[in-house]
């Protein structure tokens, strides 16, 4: 049923936000269950029970989102429910399930209920984040997401690295939030509206004054931090390295998906329209984003070469990937948005998978790349999955990472030959990236395990989770249409 109204109707509101409410309730339930019912039980039981509730909550939200397509815009876009946002929300909830499953075997904390509840709060934040066109609500939900993630990063209280990473993440994040808020306030002052549509129509009628440019730069800074684009990436290596593995997986995958979605929405829907006045037909922020994308590709890929820790390597490669994904935003078209969504979702899968493998190896204390020597003999299944994830990240066909790159790059070129240099740089840098991914795989497959290193025991749940993700990476690469058709259908149903 299509709803488009200013009248506050509590029942409609409840119905439209039911998925978010379910996730929030699941969070509270997890917390209660762990602190009241299961108090004093063994950690393994508490993890399993908590994870079960959390997964049930997310699964419930997914079912609601998939089975009940809605189209509604409430309060001028403060809440937008459309097939597209529902699809992204469902994907985000799905990623949370994966992160929760990866955490079941871990032993870094005794505060199990709090940990899982925070994951669900972060998820709720992301779900609100993607379903709003109101800049202030974007800010508020971004903060809900970020604050949860800061705590999730710091959760391993026994590790100094975890504290250090969380502190860096928090300090940089706070600064970025300030920039973002300042940018929003400028946009509000210039346009008199806090809605994206209001900002867009104001931009159409006004000329592009320097103050507009300042506002745009501020907003890009704030969002650039969330997606870890250079030069706002400095928190990423430490947070990835220090955070407990499931938290890192979440930061690297679902938080990235939500942030990129909102980044694209703000740039394409909010700031495109009238900004086409300065130098030509393209949006005024194109040169700015192009420079950030180029920097991200260079910094991320070149710094990754020098890393000796697997997680830091993944962090820098994430910076590089952010550079490629920005090309999807730079395309500034529906095609670009399609490509970006496909890319970021499949990228999230490969990253979650890679972190899943690392989580399984965590008990062996393997963080250094050299520590992976001979892994293929010690844990053949995990090694094979890692091979798939890393090759997908490197963009080797027929894995989904390759098709994502092909799609994003062709959408950028489709927008005009002005981006050819950036596409060429991106392709050159992905050739560089093969080098460091192969460095990891060389340890896994080529080197022999050290003396006395026996087979690694991992739980069936872990192997199954990682295996399912690997299967998805392969299947979505061979049949990209499975995901593309879903995205297309959602985009076509989008209200303009």
Partner 1 sequence: MLAWTIYISFAGAALLMLTPRASARTARVIALSTAIASFAVTVAAWCRFTPGEILQVARVPWIPSLGIGYHLAADGISLTLLLLTGIVAIAGVLFSWNVEKRPTEFFALYLVLIGAVYGVFLSFDLFLFFVFYELVIIPKYFLIAIWGSTRKEYAAMKLALYSFVGSAMVLIGVIAAYVEAGAKTTDLAALARYPFPLHFEMWVFPLVFLGFAILAGMWPFHTWAPTGHAAAPTAASMLLAGVVMKLGAYGCLRVAMMLFPAGMDAWGFHVLGLGSWRGLFAVLALIGIVYGASVALVQKDFKFVIGYSSVSHMGFVLLGLMTLNLIGLGGAVLQMFSHGIIAGLLFAVVGRMVYDRTHTRMLNELGPMRLARVIPFAAVTFVLASMASIGLPGFSGFVAEFEILIGAWRAFPTLAVLAGVGILIGIAFTWRALDKVFLGEAAVGSQEAVKLPPITWAERAGTSILIATTLAVGLYPRLLLDLILPAFNSPLFEGLRRGLWR
Q: Which is nearer to partner 1, 144 or 413 (CB)?
A: 413
Q: How far is the CB of 446 from partner 1 (least distance, A)?
A: 5
Q: Residue 306 burial (CB < 10 Å; 0-12/13-18/19+)?
A: exposed
Q: How far is the CB of 445 from partner 1 (least distance, A)?
A: 6
Q: How far is the CB of 98 from partner 1 (least distance, A)?
A: 25
Q: Which is nearer to partner 1, 265 or 383 (CB)?
A: 383
Q: Which is nearer to partner 1, 3 or 396 (CB)?
A: 396
Q: How far is the CB of 260 from partner 1 (least distance, A)?
A: 21
For partner 1, the binding residues (CB under 8 A) are 380, 391, 396-398, 402-403, 406-407, 409-410, 413-414, 420, 423-424, 427-428, 430-431, 434-435, 438, 442, 445-446, 480-481, 484-485, 488
Token pair in block for residue 270: 């909010």
Alpha-carbon dihedral 53, 58, 60, 66, rounded to 10 degrees: -170
Q: Which is nearer to partner 1, 278 or 381 (CB)?
A: 381
Q: How far is the CB of 18 from partner 1 (least distance, A)?
A: 32
Q: How far is the CB of 412 from partner 1 (least distance, A)?
A: 9
Q: Which is nearer to partner 1, 107 or 435 (CB)?
A: 435
Here the contacts of 427-435 (C-beta below 8 Å, separation 24 or greater) are 429/297, 429/298, 429/301, 429/320, 429/323, 430/301, 430/324, 430/394, 430/395, 430/405, 432/301, 432/302, 432/305, 433/301, 433/304, 433/317, 433/320, 433/393, 433/394, 433/395, 434/394, 434/395, 434/396, 435/305
Q: Which is nearer to partner 1, 44 or 420 (CB)?
A: 420
Q: How far is the CB of 41 from partner 1 (least distance, A)?
A: 40
Q: Which is nearer to partner 1, 234 or 434 (CB)?
A: 434
Asked if 75 contacts 130 with a C-beta cutoff of 8 angstroms, the reply is: no
Q: How far is the CB of 472 from partner 1 (least distance, A)?
A: 17
Q: What is the largest CA-CA distance in the chain?
A: 72
Q: Which is nearer to partner 1, 38 or 394 (CB)?
A: 394
Q: How far is the CB of 87 from partner 1 (least distance, A)?
A: 16
Q: Which is nearer to partner 1, 3 or 427 (CB)?
A: 427
């Amino acid at each position: 049923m299509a709803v488009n109204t200013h009248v506050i109707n509590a029942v409609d509101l409840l119905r439209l936000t039911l998925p978010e409410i379910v996730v929030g309730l699941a969070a509270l339930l997890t917390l209660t269950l762990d602190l009241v019912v299961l108090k004093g039980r063994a950690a393994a039981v508490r993890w399993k029970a908590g994870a079960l509730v959390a997964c049930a909550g997310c699964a419930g939200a997914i079912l609601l989102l998939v089975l009940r397509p809605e189209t509604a815009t409430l309060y001028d876009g403060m809440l937008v429910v459309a097939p597209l946002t529902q699809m992204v929300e469902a994907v985000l909830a799905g990623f949370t399930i994966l992160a929760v499953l990866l955490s079941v075997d871990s032993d870094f904390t005794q505060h199990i209920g709090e940990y899982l509840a925070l994951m669900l709060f972060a998820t709720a934040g992301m779900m609100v984040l993607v379903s709003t066109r109101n800049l202030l609500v974007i800010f508020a939900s971004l903060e809900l997401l970020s604050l949860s993630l800061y705590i999730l990063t710091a959760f391993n209280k026994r590790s100094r690295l975890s504290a250090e990473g969380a502190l860096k993440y928090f300090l940089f994040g706070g600064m970025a939030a300030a920039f973002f808020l300042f940018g929003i306030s400028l946009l509000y002052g210039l346009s008199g509206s806090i809605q994206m549509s209001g900002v867009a129509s104001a931009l159409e009628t006004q000329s592009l004054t320097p103050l507009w440019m300042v506002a745009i730069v501020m907003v890009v800074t704030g969002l650039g931090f969330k997606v870890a684009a250079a030069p706002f990436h400095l928190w990423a290596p430490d947070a990835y390295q220090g955070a407990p593995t499931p938290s890192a997986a979440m930061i690297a995958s679902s938080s990235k998906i939500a942030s990129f979605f909102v980044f694209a929405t703000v740039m394409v829907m909010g700031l495109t329209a009238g900004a086409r006045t300065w130098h030509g037909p393209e949006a005024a922020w194109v040169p700015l984003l192009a420079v950030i994308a180029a920097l991200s590709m260079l910094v991320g890929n070149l710094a990754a070469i020098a890393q000796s820790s697997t997680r830091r390597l993944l962090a820098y490669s994430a910076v590089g990937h952010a550079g490629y994904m920005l090309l999807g935003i730079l395309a500034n078209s529906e095609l670009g948005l399609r490509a970006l969504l496909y890319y970021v979702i499949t990228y999230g899968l490969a990253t979650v998978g890679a972190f899943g493998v690392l989580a399984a190896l965590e008990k062996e204390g393997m963080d250094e790349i050299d520590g992976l020597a001979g892994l293929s003999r010690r844990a053949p299944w995990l090694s094979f999955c890692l091979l798939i994830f890393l090759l997908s990240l490197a963009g080797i066909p027929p894995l989904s990472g390759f098709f994502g790159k092909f799609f994003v790059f062709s959408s950028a070129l489709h927008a005009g030959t002005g981006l050819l240099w950036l596409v060429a740089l991106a392709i050159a840098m992905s050739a560089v990236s093969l080098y460091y991914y192969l460095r990891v795989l060389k340890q896994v497959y080529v080197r022999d395990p050290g003396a006395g290193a026996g087979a690694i025991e991992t739980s069936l749940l872990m192997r199954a989770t990682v295996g399912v993700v690997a299967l998805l990476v392969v299947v979505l690469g061979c049949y990209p249409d499975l995901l593309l058709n879903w995205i297309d259908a959602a985009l076509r149903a989008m209200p303009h």
